[in-house]
């Protein structure tokens, strides 16, 4: 829940905990991303993968395209066709698999469950009653499992028009409204001799609808975010429209107007199952601005300035310089400003380049295309200049430092792009992005200073490199957790996506225990005890951050990135006071 005080009354903005991609959508997107990353074939989806224009545009940028039929695919031998999350009739799937074409099934597992339910009952002679939208892709797919004995109704009124049925199985489109299905089932009892009631509304939909009902009835304004062609988003809006004083259905934040917020003290933001979290965050940001416009201009300016600092990678540059300072203290090397500057420029360059590469995935609206093209060009130019300057500075430190710095910078700049230069094999490796980031930072922040001061093979330099690698790996993994929870389009180059939540947090906890154990041992052995004690204290922030990410809803992206990079800056401040 987000609250802030306006001039006349307290304005409360609540974002639904259940908002964001549902598991079925996440599964489908993950599948096509992995196919696009590991295969040289063209990727097609049979119909839009999900009902969200912005996400579909993002997938197009990654050469994942939707086709209405297989006839649109010319070179079938060099193509992969993905069955989307809604599923298709079994006869259509069999026909596709009979073609000289690779077919991948990304049907939502919960939709699969409904298909099997219908198939099982149909074999026993039951007529199927589907409560849903007759033209929806999921319902069209479900009809194929009924053996031709099927009726589609939109609710209880539709059931009343059906003929008398001896045996029937009533099921729901997975995103159907619960009350509508139960009412339809009651009507179905009146026209059937034997009725099997299969409530196949999926749990994510039930949770979303329950939360919507609970908050909408007490809200002055409800903002529903999602595609206008999304059935489940439309149902969410219909619930809100009945219960809230005012409700609006939008696809993106630009549709919000200041007039909507007049007299609205309690605002609720929710979304459909195909709406990514990053879109919801943009709506939240716009709602804050419009609801509190001119109420606290200083606070608004400060928030905007901070957003520029974080999204402009300046905070990351400070974090890299802070880590370099810590490593130089660990190595016992004199603190040299050129290393702090070099590491800051290096981190700024690569972080800015990667952010520019993913910016189109954040908001690819056609109306904003020119703006984002200009942003990318400016960002990449800034990244190129700062990276070149970092490599130039490294040249003054000897050819070993120069060549290694140039290597890591070159690989880092090329990493986001699909280029036939042999880098793809490493990019396909799980957690490759996190590992590469940690290696580059460990070199610039720890090994380069040690190499320059002639202690590259010393125990203290090796310790600093190890310390920096694990800290930056942790930082990168937490960034990946934030991106995944924001429904950014990322693949298994992200450790969190590759390993899953349990293994990710087990790994992070293990790193914390390992680093804390090393620092505790160093303190006990009398090696730089004050520095070890200071860094050990700083590790408590790391522990708190992990616990917060694990048990709480991951905060919006700007807040999450601030919290993560603050870890390194805090260590730098603690080391400075020693």
Residues recognised as catalytic:
138
Structure-block tokens of residue 410: 């070159």
Taking the CB of residue 47, how many other CB atoms lie within 10 A of it? 17
What tokens appear for 507 in the block? Answer: 């790994």
Q: Determine contact, residues 92/147, Cβ cutoff 8 Å.
A: no
Taking Cα atoms as reference points, which of 196, 201, 181, 191 lies closest to residue 126? 196
Residues 464 and 405: their CA atoms lie apart, in Å, by: 17
Whether 317 and 348 have beta carbons less than 8 Å apart is answered as yes
Alpha-carbon gap, residue 516 to 535, rounded angstroms: 9
Alpha helical stretches, state H, 396-494: 399-414, 423-427, 432-442, 448-452, 459-485
Burial environment of residue 334 by CB neighbours within 10 A (0 to 12, 13 to 18, 19 or more): exposed
Tokens of 316: 């990351």
Hey, which bits of 68-108 come out as E strands? 79-83, 102-105
Q: Which residue has the tokens 């290096």?
A: 346
Q: Quick count: other Cβ atoms within 10 Å of Cβ 15? A: 25
d(CA 160, CA 414): 62
Strands (E), 304-367: none
Query: How are strands ordered across the β-sheet holding 221-225?
Result: 2-5, 10-15, 266-271, 221-225, 247-250
Sheet with 102-105, edge to edge strand ranges: 64-67, 42-46, 79-83, 102-105
Say how far apart CA 393 and CA 76 lie, in whole Å. 51
Task: Determine phi and psi for 92, rounding to 5 degrees.
Answer: -70, -40
Q: Let me know if 577 is exposed, middle or buried by CB neighbors in 10 A (0-12, 13-18, 19+).
A: exposed
Using an 8 Å Cβ cutoff, are 276 and 486 in contact? Answer: yes
- CA-nearest of 435, 470, 493 to 542 is 470
Q: Are 445 and 527 in contact (CB under 8 A)?
A: no
Separation between Cα atoms, residue 189 and residue 171, nearest integer Å: 13
Contact 20, 275 (CB under 8 A): yes
From first CA to last CA, the distance across the chain in angstroms is 39
Q: Which of 430, 425, 440, 497 is nearest to 472 (CA)?
A: 440
* Length of the chain (residues): 578
**Tokens standing for residue 515:** 């680093």
């Amino acid at each position: 829940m987000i609250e802030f005080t306006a001039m006349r009354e307290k304005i409360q903005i609540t974002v639904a905990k259940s908002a964001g991609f549902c598991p079925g959508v996440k599964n489908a997107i993950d599948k096509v991303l992995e196919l696009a990353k590991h295969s040289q074939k063209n990727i097609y989806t049979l119909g839009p993968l999900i009902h969200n224009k912005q996400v579909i545009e993002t997938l197009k940028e990654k050469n994942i395209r939707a086709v209405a039929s297989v006839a649109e695919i010319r070179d079938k031998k060099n193509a992969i066709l993905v069955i989307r999350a809604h599923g298709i009739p079994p006869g259509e799937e069999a026909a596709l698999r009979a073609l000289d074409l690779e077919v991948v099934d990304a049907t939502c597992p919960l939709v699969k469950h409904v298909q099997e339910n219908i198939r099982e009952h149909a074999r026993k002679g039951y007529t199927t009653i589907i409560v849903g939208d007759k033209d929806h892709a999921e319902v069209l797919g479900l009809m194929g499992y009924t053996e031709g004995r099927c009726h589609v109704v939109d609710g209880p009124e539709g059931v009343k028009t059906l003929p008398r049925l001896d045996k029937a199985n009533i099921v729901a489109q997975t995103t159907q409204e619960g009350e509508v299905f139960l009412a339809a089932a009651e009507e179905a009892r009146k026209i059937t001799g034997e009725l099997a009631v299969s409530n196949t509304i999926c749990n994510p939909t039930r949770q979303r609808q329950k939360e919507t009902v609970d908050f909408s009835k007490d809200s002055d304004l409800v903002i529903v975010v999602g595609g206008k062609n999304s059935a489940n988003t439309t149902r969410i809006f219909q619930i809100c429209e009945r219960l809230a004083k005012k409700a609006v259905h939008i696809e993106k934040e630009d549709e919000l107007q200041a007039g909507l917020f007049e007299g609205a003290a309690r605002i609720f933001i929710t979304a459909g199952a195909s709406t990514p979290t990053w879109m919801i965050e943009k709506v939240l940001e716009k709602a804050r601005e419009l609801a509190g416009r001119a109420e606290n201009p200083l606070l608004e300016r400060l928030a905007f300035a901070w957003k520029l600092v974080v999204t402009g990678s300046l905070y990351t540059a400070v974090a890299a310089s802070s880590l370099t300072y810590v490593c130089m203290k660990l190595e016992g090397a004199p603190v040299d400003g050129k290393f702090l500057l070099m590491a800051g420029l290096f981190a700024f360059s690569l972080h800015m380049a990667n952010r520019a590469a993913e910016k189109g995935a954040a908001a690819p609206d056609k109306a904003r295309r020119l703006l984002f093209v200009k942003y990318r060009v400016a960002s990449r130019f800034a990244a190129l200049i700062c990276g070149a300057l970092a490599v130039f500075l490294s040249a003054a430190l000897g050819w070993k430092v120069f060549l290694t710095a140039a290597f890591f910078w070159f690989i880092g700049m090329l990493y986001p792009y699909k280029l036939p230069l042999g880098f793809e094999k490493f990019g396909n490796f799980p957690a490759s992005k996190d590992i590469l980031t940690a290696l580059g930072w460990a070199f610039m922040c720890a090994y380069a200073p040690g190499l320059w001061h002639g202690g590259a093979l010393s125990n203290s330099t090796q310790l600093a490199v190890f310390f920096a690698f694990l800290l930056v790996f942790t930082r990168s993994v937490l960034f990946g957790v934030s991106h995944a929870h924001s429904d950014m389009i990322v693949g298994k180059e992200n450790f969190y996506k590759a390993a899953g939540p349990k293994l990710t947090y087990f790994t992070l906890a293990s790193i914390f225990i390992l680093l804390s154990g090393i620092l505790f041992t160093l303190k006990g052995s009398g090696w730089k005890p004050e520095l070890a004690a200071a860094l050990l204290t700083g590790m408590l922030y790391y522990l708190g951050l992990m616990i917060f990410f694990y048990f709480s809803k991951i905060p919006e992206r700007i807040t999450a990135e601030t919290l993560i990079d603050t870890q390194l800056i805090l260590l730098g401040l603690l080391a400075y006071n020693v």
